[in-house]
Structure 1
């Protein structure tokens, strides 16, 4: 079962410190070695919005004034069960000290 985990970042959050990067690096290495982590990365906080109406593509560049949270990064994981997914999330948040992630199962 593959899941896309997107970590939300509040614009008022302090920047991560060196300790967090070290601990997260160890966690990423462990998940990669176990074959669980398929891909991970940080995302541009501004991003863009693409919409199509009547066949016409409209691209709107961010940032978006109404957005209080943006997606800060993502991880694509391949796990055996939802329980394993939840354990990975618990360990992730133990490193970050909390937060919010949007999680979607990836089909296909």
Structure 2
């Protein structure tokens, strides 16, 4: 099963502020973790994202489109980075998630969400 793993944003990641020493150590630890994911055949892709102040949103209302400039509120609901993994099941994804080095200098979270698969839609149409 494929899962998307979101690294949730923090106040520091939204400010783009990371102390240089902490950033170097964090990047090295994350590099080792990504290597382990790749070696296990789990990692499909992943990357970090710039703060939401560099982003845009497009709001839809029928045929209308409205562009909203960042930064966006509710930092805890924003994404600072992501991975796409191929795992056996959610238990394996959680086990790999627990091995992740803390992706931020302070408290942080990752969120794991499964992708829809063709079988999910087939089950809905049959009954």
What is the CA distance between 1:33 and its match in structure 2? Answer: 2.2
Q: Which structure's residues are more often helix, by fraction? A: 2
What is the CA distance between 1:98 and its match in structure 2? Answer: 5.0
- 1:90 has 2:98 as partner: yes
Question: In terms of mean alpha carbon deviation, does 36-45 or 48-57 score higher?
Answer: 48-57
Provide runs of 4+ in structure 1 moved above 3 Å. Answer: none
Figure out how many residues of one structure are paired with residues of the other and give that number: 105
CA distance in 2, matches of 1:73, 1:57: 26
Q: What are the ranges of 5 or more consecutive residues in structure 2 without an aligned counterpart?
A: 118-127
CA distance in 2, matches of 1:20, 1:42: 13
Aligned-residue CA RMSD in angstroms? 1.8
Larger Rg: 2
User: Structure 1 length as normaliser, TM-score?
Assistant: 0.84
Q: What are the ranges of 5 or more consecutive residues in structure 1 without an aligned counterpart?
A: none
CA distance in 1, matches of 2:38, 2:91: 19
1:39-50 correspondence to structure 2 within 5 Å = 39-46=45-52, 47-50=55-58
Corresponding residue for 1:9? 9
Corresponding residue for 1:67? 74
User: Structure 2 length as normaliser, TM-score?
Assistant: 0.73
